[in-house]
Amino acid sequence: MIKNKKDFGLGVVSILIAAGITYASFQLRGSTYVGDPGPRMFPLFGAALMFICGVALIIKPEKEQKVFMTPKQWKSGLLMFGVYVLATLLFYLVGFAVTLPIIFFILTYLMSRLSLKDLTKKQRTIRSLVFAILAGAGVYVVYVILLDAVLPKGLLFTLR
Amino acid sequence: MATTLDYIVAALKEISSVTGILYIIGGTIAGIVLGAIPGLGSSTLLVILLPIAYKIDTNLVLALFISVVIGGMSGGCIGSILLGIPGTSSSLCTVWDGYALTQKGDPVRPLSAAVTANFLGNVPGIIIAIFACRAIGTWAVKLGPWEYAALCFCAILMVVGLSKDNLAKGMLGVGLAFFLASIGEDPITAHGRFLFFDRLEFLDGIDLISLMLGLFAAKIVLLEYAKATKTEQPDIKVGGFKWPGEDLRKNKWVVVRSWFMGLIIGFLPGLGGPVAAGLAYSSEKMLAKDKSNWGKGEIAGVLATETANNAAIGGALIPFLALGIPGDAANVQFIAALNVKGINVGPMFMREQTLIVYIIFIAALISGIVAMLYETLGMKTFPALLKIPYHYLYSTIVILTLTGAYMSTGSFFGMIIMLICCILGILMDVFGIPNLPFLMAFILSPLLELNIRRGLNYSRRGLAEFFLRPISCVFIVVGLLVLIWGMVSPVVKKALKKNKTESTANTGC
């Protein structure tokens, strides 16, 4: 019976990745310099380490298997990652200036569910909206006006 | 040849402008605030500040960064003492005695002791680092590619071997880092390696800033939100600072011993504050005549922890500035900031960038004084720091992370790398793969590969050259011994424990 499925899985995945790196490394062109082992050496070294550690984890996994997060927590984590992806897409499509208040609002609203439990939905929405506009403007001023940073203009608009 | 004093004066001139002082004060206070908040720490602030480094003067960036580190380490004790939740992992042991005293209704005594210990640990540690770096830096320029490769190798093995994490998982992280770091242009032949989907963006390699933004800032906020650990904090009232003269007098040797331990542990690559504090606490507890009060409100426990973790900052600066080997996670972010400015860290760093090194030292000293002043004069404001609305703070961190990822590469590639690294960071946490060996290996990989290959290219004896040169051989042997010790020590400890139990049982019979 497998004692620690997590470590066993990690061991198997490590071996597979190591095999993939080894294959990809042998596709690389060698070096013509005398004594130089070439560009393959280092990734192969990494692959060898991953292979050995993968085998070690399969043979001798850790005794304890801790639960990292509950299914509910994973769901919340996924939601937050969804916001990151949405922000990236919005940066690409509508640019920095439009994305800022939208993402600020979504994030503040989501997170205030934990820290502002006593407020009603409407109150939280208003607070999040006000913060999104003010903070969005603040970040815009710092990055665009003060730092003169190169930021995404957006595919649909040419706003900065 | 310019003396240490000349460089100190020159560094003071560089950062004594109004802007420079404001950067140091702002960085220190921001570090204290972030350090006080459990789960965040000053490293998050450093990571989100990295992309801004492009736009700020090099000297000011470094002054800002070291101030954030000093402030963060000093602020870590606030959460530990007032909430019983460590602001940073370096202040974990402060919880046991500091929080116990708060529960007894006296938060000012542990806070005053911790604030003073922070200063006593930090400032002398930096002064030692100033002189040690000069001496080691003079020696470091004599290192060839063999010695430098061996040094990098030794540093990586030490991080894995000395950490208390699973050794196989630590090495797995190192292997993964070696692969990820080899993506991009080959350092010798300039051929492209692993250009996935034939995208030319990969030619520059995995962007370090995007990697760190994903691995730390984005991951931390995501996990904090998912685990819903941030709720409203209780109302705590704290009085003004009281000079802990009596506590210091009674525990002067605790402070001295912990300071030495912090400095030495800080010097060893990758260990830093958390290990220094843990070792100082446990050794002081072991040495104490009366152990009954430890963990229940022993002020010596607070003094030992806070002196050691702050002394570790100075210790960690020595290998970083003199040899280019990061002493702790904060040094890794320094390297990233220097890379942004086109400055490469290595054994020549001390000789080529002497002024920058002294600017870091002087800024650290000023920051130590600022932290002490703020924490003594503003102690009454500590509970307010812990009540900063998380929904505003975290949403701002996410926006700065996303913007920083774009700025670091000037394209969406950086944002995609950041998102992938966020997933990687979560997976590493799920499987218990420690972050520090991975990050250390990723940072040192280019130097390690370049020097191994240069060494092989220059030598007639091939790989044997690494073992035939005495310094190089010593580094390799030390690294391997530490790794072997990491493998063997749990077995030895287990056997000793078993023997002890058996002998106790026999005596009992």
CB contact under 8 A, A115 and B412: no
> How far is Cα A14 from Cα A20, in angstroms, rounded to an integer?
10
pLDDT at B466 over 70: yes
CA distances (Å), origin B311, targets B8, B337, B433: 21, 23, 28
A154 touches B at CB < 8 Å: no
pLDDT at B279 over 60: yes
- B439-470 b/e (C-beta count within 10 Å ≥ 16 → b): bbbbbbbbbbbbbbbbbbeebeeeeebbeebe
HSE-CB of A42 using CA atoms within 13 angstroms: 34
A60-79 residues touching B, CB cutoff 8 A = 60, 62, 66, 68-69, 73-74, 76-77
pLDDT at B509 over 50: no
For chain A, the domains span: 5-59, 71-146
Q: What percent of chain B has pLDDT over 90?
A: 17
Task: Please indicate whether residue B351 or residue B366 has the higher confidence score (pLDDT).
Answer: B366
B203 to chain A: which residues are within 8 Å by CB? none
Structure confidence at residue A86 (pLDDT): 96
Model confidence pLDDT, tens digit, residues B93-106: 888 888 888 888 88
Structure confidence at residue A160 (pLDDT): 45
B242 touches A at CB < 8 Å: no
Q: Which of A124-133, B214-223, B498-507 has the highest mean pLDDT?
A: A124-133
CB contact under 8 A, A36 and B457: yes
Structure confidence at residue B222 (pLDDT): 93
CB contact under 8 A, B390 and A42: no
pLDDT at B232 over 70: no
Structure confidence at residue B401 (pLDDT): 87
A17, A21, A115 ranked by CB distance to B231: nearest: A115
- Span B71-85, average pLDDT: 82
pLDDT at B266 over 50: yes
Instruction: Give first-to-last CA distance, chain B, whole Å.
Output: 73
A150 touches B at CB < 8 Å: yes
| Smallest Cα distance from B247 to chain A, Å | 38
> How far is Cα B76 from Cα B87, in angstroms, rounded to an integer?
4
* 8 Å CB contact between B253 and B304: no
Task: Please indicate whether residue A83 or residue B502 has the higher confidence score (pLDDT).
Answer: A83
B188, B390, B430 ranked by CB distance to A33: nearest: B188
Nearest CA in chain A to B217: A84
- Span B475-488, average pLDDT: 88
Structure confidence at residue B365 (pLDDT): 92
> How far is Cα B318 from Cα A65, in angstroms, rounded to an integer?
39
Q: Where are the beta strands (DSSP E) in B396-437?
A: none
pLDDT at A131 over 50: yes
Structure confidence at residue B319 (pLDDT): 84
- Span A92-116, average pLDDT: 89
Q: What percent of chain A has pLDDT over 90?
A: 54
For chain B, the domains span: 1-145+243-388
A36, A110, A147 ranked by CB distance to B456: nearest: A36
A117 to chain B: which residues are within 8 Å by CB? 231-232
- Span B265-274, average pLDDT: 75
B394 to chain A: which residues are within 8 Å by CB? 107, 111
A151 to chain B: which residues are within 8 Å by CB? 403, 406-407
Model confidence pLDDT, tens digit, residues B307-355: 998 888 888 888 888 888 877 777 777 788 887 777 877 777 888 888 8
Nearest CA in chain B to A91: B412
Structure confidence at residue B1 (pLDDT): 61
**Which residue, chain included where needed, has tokens 């843990």?**
B278
Q: Of B226, B204, B247, B263, which is closest to residue A76 (Cα–Cα)? A: B226
User: Of the given ranges (B116-130, B296-310, B344-358), which has the lowest mean pLDDT?
Assistant: B344-358
Model confidence pLDDT, tens digit, residues B444-456: 888 889 889 988 8
Task: Count, in order, helices (H) and strands (E) of chain A.
Answer: 4, 0
- Span A100-119, average pLDDT: 87
Residue B311, H or E segment: helix B299-323
> How far is Cα A105 from Cα A132, in angstroms, rounded to an integer?
5
A74-103 residues touching B, CB cutoff 8 A = 74, 76-77, 80-81, 83-85, 87-88, 91-92, 96, 100, 103
Spell out the residues 6+ positions from residue A41 whose beta carbon is closer than 8 angstroms to its own. B449, B452, B453
SS3 per residue for B211-270:
HHHHHHHHHHHHHHHHHCCCCCCCCCCCCCCCCCHHHHHHCHHHHHHHHHHHHHHHHCCC
> How far is Cα B497 from Cα B484, in angstroms, rounded to an integer?
20
pLDDT band per the 50, 70, 90 thresholds, residue B164: low
- pLDDT averaged over every residue in chain B: 84
DSSP B157-220: HHHHHHSSS-HHHHHHHHHHHHHHHTSEE-TTT--EE--GGG-GGGGG-S-HHHHHIIIIIIHH
- Span B149-153, average pLDDT: 87
User: Of the given ranges (B201-205, B301-305, B360-364), which has the lowest mean pLDDT?
Assistant: B201-205
* Residue B185, strand partner residues: B192
**Which residue, chain included where needed, has tokens 């090194």?**
B357
* 8 Å CB contact between B119 and B371: yes
